Every structure is written in C-alpha cells, then in structure tokens.
Amino acid sequence: MKRTRSVRRHRLVPFLLSAFLLACAPRLGAEPEAPVVVSDGWLAMGTFFEADLRVLPADVPRARAWLEWARGELARLEAIFSRHDPESALSQLNRELAGEAVVRKGTPLAPELEAILESAGAVWSVSGGAFDVTVGPLIDVWNEAADRGHWPSRERLATARRLVGGEKLSLSVRGSDRGSGRRKLIAAMPGLRIDLDGISKGAVLDRLRERFERELPETAALLSLGESSVVAIGDPGGGGWRLVARSRDPERDDLATIRLRDRALSVSSSVGSVRRIGNRRVSHVVDPRTGTAIEGTVEAIVIANRAERADAWSTALLVLGANPEAIGLVEQAGLAALVVDSSGHSAATRDWEEVARGARR
C-alpha cells in the first residue's frame, strides 16, 4: 500500500544543521555544557535508517552504545516483519495462512507480530477498512492489468476481493494457550496474505524510541527510516526539530514546514506511482473496501504520539482522500493530519496548524 514517501533524507540536512547551531550557540553566564552531535546511519528494512542524537559530552559513550544496540535491533525486527525475506517470521506466517490448518486451529504468534497486528487491526476498524494489511491480492490484480494495458475482469477482481479484509483475521487465546498468554492468529479462510509495509517502519521506530528514552532521558534525537517515517525526541535549541515535507509533485510547493518534538511524523504519497490503463491514469493505491484503484494522486501528512499509528493513518488517507469525512475519522483517532490531492483540494484537522508549529498537546 505504501510505496512512495515525500520527506527526503537529504532535504533534512540543512534544518538539522540549523538546529545544531542553535543548540550549541554560546550563551552568557555559567550554564551547562552544550550538547554535541552523535550520528550514524545504515541500510535497513529496504531503506536508510538515520539517527541524529544531541547529547551531553558525558553521555557520548552511552549514545554510541545505544546506536550499536539499534543496529542489532533493526536487523532482528526486519527478520520478523519483512515480506521480502522468505525466512522472516511474516513470510512463514503467510505460508501458514495459505493452508487450511490456520483456519481450523490458528497459529501462535511471536510477541512482535501479535502487537503489530493488533495495532493494524485497530486502525482498520477506525478507518472503516481504508487501512488493510491484507490488500496485497488486489494490488497484484491492478499491477497485472497495468502491465497488460487492459482493465481487470470483474471475475478476477471478485476472486481477489475474497482474499482481502481485516475482518477475516482475528487474534484469539484458545485452550491450552490461555495459560501462557500467547495468542493465535485465526483466519476466516485460507489464502490470506499479510503485508506490513504500511506500518512496520513506524513500529520499529517506536521500539528504538522507547529504549532511547529510558537510557538517555532529557536527550534530543531525530530518528528516521526512509524518506518519511520520523520520530522526534526532545527539543534541541528550542522550537522543536524543523522539518520540511516536500511534495513528490515537481509542480507543487512544499506541503508543510513542521516543528516536531516528542512526536512522530509520517508522509505518504501516491505521486510518481501512477500508471496508465488505456487512456486513464490509475494509482498503485487500491481501496481495500471496493477493490478499485485510486484515480489521481493524494499526499498525506500525519502527526501522532506513536510512529506506527502515523504510518498506518498516512497510508489510509491515500485511500480516504482530502475530504471532511476522512478528516473526521482522523480526528476521531486523536491525530493531526493534512491531506492534498491532485485536483488542488486540501483538508486538515482543526488542530493541524497548532500541532505543526510544535505545540504540545
């Protein structure tokens, strides 16, 4: 579902530098030592992970130790969530979902898979099914149609739709599992397939943030995975971390300038992933509720207390679009968001401007 993102890594550099200069500027009087920058980055989860930490000199060893732990933790979580790794826990689960056994008895879940599926299910429910980790079969149909240059048949779409739907998955504790507290994933039918790309990066950033805040309290950090999933911790120099959300459309101005502190940001975009079938342009984004590909483009920014919620809702908004009904659902979930579509329409939550300025809620 989530294929392209619009906060570009190299675009963040000038603003991180300005935050550093502000934090380290000389001040009058005897004050505590200014923080120093400890940073690193590496390939992870099919993209690039970056960490920009602002720590006191005495905390530098702990910051470097956290970075080493983060490298190992990212690799561990990727081996659970990745759909591209045939040996990942998710790939193994999908192989089980292809058979009848999981329908009858369910399959035990690793704690990390249990937690992320529970979060995904909550967003599926509140978004009215716009965010759905089982949408993969429908995306396959539309990709095949675009490759052939012909619209998919009703029969092909109907077959794929039978394999899609968050209501076909449930977490349950049964029989002897009650003593252990471990839950099983129960599928309503065989053939379902789970894709966590729209939420897993946020879940990983939340995990890294939790340990960082325990081990380095009162320290600032900006953590990002790819071009759009970002977590901001602390407030370097005052005013929060300054980020610019760039549109993927070269003819459109920047989407927003955001001051982020102690919150998460996700930007999703369907721009750049539009294909033609006949003389009509269709997006790679598919509405799980109807099976139709979205025409036109949508870009969405979501600010939330947790990165996995921001990621999932920015993906859902590509389906829901820039309209009052979509914004109402986001507000019901307690998030701030801005949505812009190819026709020039935009919609934002009532508190968007306040939250985007870095105001605490």
Which CATH homologous superfamily contains domain 89-187? Answer: ApbE-like superfamily (1.10.3980.10)
pTM over 0.75: yes
Q: Domains of the chain: which residue ranges? A: 89-187
Alpha carbon distance 200, 44 (integer Å): 12
Burial 243-257 (b: 16+ CB within 10 A, else e): bebbbbbeeeeebbe
- Dihedral pair phi/psi, residue 41, rounded to 5°: -165, 150
Alpha carbons 135 and 181: distance in angstroms, whole number: 29
- At which residue do the structure tokens 């994933």 appear? 185
**Alpha-carbon span 350 to 302, nearest angstrom:** 13
Q: 321-324: long-range contacts (C-beta < 8 A, 24 or more apart)?
A: 321/294, 322/298, 322/346, 322/347, 323/347
Residues in the chain, pLDDT under 70? 1-32, 101, 104, 173-181, 359-361
CA angle 258, 264, 269 (to 5 degrees): 70
Tell me, rounded to whole angstroms, the distance of Cα 324 from its chain centroid: 22
